Amino acid sequence: MAHYPLNHPLRPLYRLLAFLAAAYLTLFGAIGVGVTAGDPLFHRGGDWVLGLRTNPATAWVSLLLGVVLLVAVVVGRNLYHQVALVLGWALAGFAMVVMAVIQTDANVFNFSMINVVVLALLGLVVLTAGLYGKIGRPDDEAAR
């Protein structure tokens, strides 16, 4: 079993970083939904939002993931720890998969290389926040 630090002193800073990442995903998704309204779901057009290429599928997925992470950060506790770990790994892993198919027809999310870089960075920020977000009782910490 992995050892995650309990009650890390920089936990509020990491939680703020996770909140900012979630806010960016939510904002990107919300603006993207508006900009790509009326386009087919997997449209391969030239729509750009906040410096990233998008289509309706990308916008809706970003909006959904951003809202899920925002809710987890606001609720806090160990829910935030678990959600941030899962979403961090998922975002970073998805960035690598998209990078492998970026020049093919499998790029249904209309990503460019800048999308991959931003997605990987967001994934690593959220993952790091999740790693240091675990909380527990002080006696639990002493027992470890």
Q: Is residue 68 part of a domain?
A: yes
- What is the reported pTM? 0.89
Tell me if 57 is assigned to some domain.
Answer: yes
Q: How would DSSP label each residue in 79-131? A: HHHHHHHHHHHHHHHHHHHHHHHTTSTT-TT---HHHHHHHHHHHHHHHHHHH
Instruction: Tell whether 123 is covered by a domain.
Output: yes
C-beta separation of 32 from 58 below 8 A: yes
pLDDT digits (tens, 9 = 90+) for 4-25: 778 788 888 999 999 999 999 9
Q: Has residue 117 been placed in a domain?
A: yes
- Tokens encoding 33: 């939904």
- Position 18 in a domain: yes
Name residue 52's beta-bridge partners.
49
For residue 61, being part of any structural domain is answered with yes
Segment 46-98, tens digit of pLDDT? 899 999 999 999 999 999 999 999 999 999 888 999 999 999 999 999 999 99
pLDDT at residue 76 in the model: 84
Is residue 43 one of the residues assigned to a domain? no
Residue 3 lies in a domain: no
Identify the domain containing residue 121 by its residue range.
Answer: 11-36+49-143
Q: For residue 3, is pLDDT > 80?
A: no
What is the rounded distance in angstroms from the CA atom of residue 137 to the CA atom of residue 133?
13
Tally of structural domains, the chain:
1
